[in-house]
Amino acid sequence: MEYLGGGHYNLSKLRSLLFFDVDTSPSSCSMSKFLGDGLRFLKVLDCRGAPLDKFPKVILKLYNLRYLSLRETQTIGFKASPGIETLSCLQSLCFIEASQSFTAGLMESLGKLKQLRRLSILKLKESDGYALCSSVQKTRFLYSLSIESENSNEILNLQNISSSPQCLKRLHMSGRLVKLPSWLSSLSCLVRLYLRWSKLEVDPLIHLQALPNLVQLIFEQAYNGKRLRFQTGGFQMLKILMFGKLERLEEVLVEEGSMPRLEELWFRDCKLLKKVPCGVGFLTELKYLEFVDMAPELIRRLGRSKIYEDYDKIKHVPSIFTGNQRDWGVDGNYLNA
């Protein structure tokens, strides 16, 4: 780093710079010196594995930067410096930490990054939601958005989006939701939706079932109700459905004509669910069914012969797995075909 930054080479035409896990990976100090010596046309900067303990402010001078990676550095959920909006060409901004002194200004600055395709934010507070919503609806090309609150009880204030990002394909939201944001139902390009810690009191399926391209849906601690109902005609493209830690869930009903393309159905740690969901037999394309950390009553109903109570519901499924979560992974077995 010292040799290259010392002027022995003309690097002004360099467009991509990737650091690998070597002994001479750059520190924050050497990074600032190196990037400050004429790399203003850099478009790609990958600092994966570098021992960076703070965000190098010199990066804010790389006005042509489109891709920036700080993965596996010591800036976990990196704290960006004021002025990040100067990176007007930036397309991917991942794991930026919201819990800092100028958070409101930071959330507003994101709306000036007009070329953003991917955005991931950690430690968001309820008070920052309005500014974030204002910025998100200005990002015309955004296709991946991940938002995580400061903790599992912090509310995600994400209701105030009047014009949703129509290119959005992947949406991850971790945090309490008073109610499901109304703009979710208008995301016609959405392919993957992951809701964690939402703890919704009202069945959210009615607001999601008409999404025309939704393929994967994951609920983890996302619903506090006792009953979920998949209505006829809903979720026409869904292929993967996963439930995790729905502690109050007692019943799941699948109506005929719902989820006609579903291939995988997962249940983990939903201990009040005592029997296989009613209507699973309608899921003719189902290839994999999983029950992990479930009630013993449910497991006793499973089997590949007519002596088991739920045999008729699951006899068409090629692969059925039951087990328990251990410290080292999942321990279980497949039911004999």
pLDDT tens for residues 204-253? 999 999 999 999 999 999 999 999 999 999 999 999 999 999 999 999 99
41: pLDDT confidence band, cut at 50, 70 and 90? confident
Phi-psi region of 306 (alpha: psi -120 to 50; beta: other; left: phi over 0): alpha
29: pLDDT confidence band, cut at 50, 70 and 90? low
51: pLDDT confidence band, cut at 50, 70 and 90? confident
User: What pLDDT sits at residue 21?
Assistant: 60
Q: Which residues contact 326 (CB under 8 A, 6 or more apart)?
A: none
**Tens of pLDDT along 249-266?**
999 999 999 999 999 999
For residue 23, count other CB atoms closer than 10 A to its CB: 4
Q: What is the mean pLDDT of the chain?
A: 87
For residue 102, count other CB atoms closer than 10 A to its CB: 13
Mean pLDDT for the stretch of residues 23-42: 68
305 within a domain of the structure (yes/no): yes
Most confident of the following: 54-68, 102-116, 279-293: 279-293
6: pLDDT confidence band, cut at 50, 70 and 90? low
User: What pLDDT sits at residue 232?
Assistant: 97
**Tens of pLDDT along 105-116?**
888 888 999 899
Lowest mean pLDDT among 52-66, 106-120, 230-244, 269-283: 52-66
Q: Are 84 and 112 in contact (CB under 8 A)?
A: no
219 within a domain of the structure (yes/no): yes
Residue where the block lists tokens 């939701």: 177
Q: Which residues contact 85 (CB under 8 A, 6 or more apart)?
A: 109, 110, 112, 113
Mean pLDDT for the stretch of residues 283-302: 95
51 within a domain of the structure (yes/no): no
Query: Which one is predicted more confidently, 181 or 76?
Result: 181
Mean pLDDT for the stretch of residues 58-83: 76
332 within a domain of the structure (yes/no): yes
Closest C-alpha among 312, 317, 256 to residue 291: 317
> In three state form, how does the secondary structure of the chain look?
CHHHHHHHCCCCCCCEEECCCCCCCCCHHHHHHHHCCCCCCCCEEECCCCCCCCCCHHHHHCCCCCEEECCCCCCCCECCCCCHHHCCCCCEEEEEECCCCCHHHHHHHHCCCCCCCEEEEEEECHHHHHHHHHHHCCCCCCCEEEEEECCCCCECCCCCCCCCCCCCCEEEEECECCCCCHHHHHCCCCCEEEEECCCECCCCHHHHCCCCCCCEEEEECCECCCEEEECCCCCCCCCEEEEECCCCCCEEEECCCCCCCCCEEEEECCCCCCCCCECHHHCCCCCEEEEECCCHHHHHCCCCCCCCCCHHHHCCCCEEEEEEEECCEEEEEECCC
CA dihedral 288, 222, 311, 335 (to 10 degrees): 40
For residue 174, count other CB atoms closer than 10 A to its CB: 22
315 within a domain of the structure (yes/no): yes
164: pLDDT confidence band, cut at 50, 70 and 90? confident
Mean pLDDT for the stretch of residues 144-150: 94
Mean pLDDT for the stretch of residues 313-331: 92
157 within a domain of the structure (yes/no): no
Query: Which one is predicted more confidently, 232 or 13?
Result: 232
User: What pLDDT sits at residue 99?
Assistant: 67
What span, in angstroms and rounded, lies between the C-alpha atoms of 51 and 57? Answer: 15
Query: Which one is predicted more confidently, 6 or 34?
Result: 34
105 within a domain of the structure (yes/no): no
Q: Is 7 exposed, middle or buried (0-12, 13-18, 19+ CB in 10 A)?
A: exposed
Q: Cα-flanking dihedrals φ and ψ of residue 290, to 5°? A: -130, 135
Q: Is 2 exposed, middle or buried (0-12, 13-18, 19+ CB in 10 A)?
A: exposed
Look at the chain and report how many structural domains it folds into: 1
Strand partners, 50: none
% of the chain residues with pLDDT over 70: 87
Q: Domain of residue 221: give its range.
A: 199-337
User: What pLDDT sits at residue 95?
Assistant: 77
47 within a domain of the structure (yes/no): no
User: What pLDDT sits at residue 66?
Assistant: 86
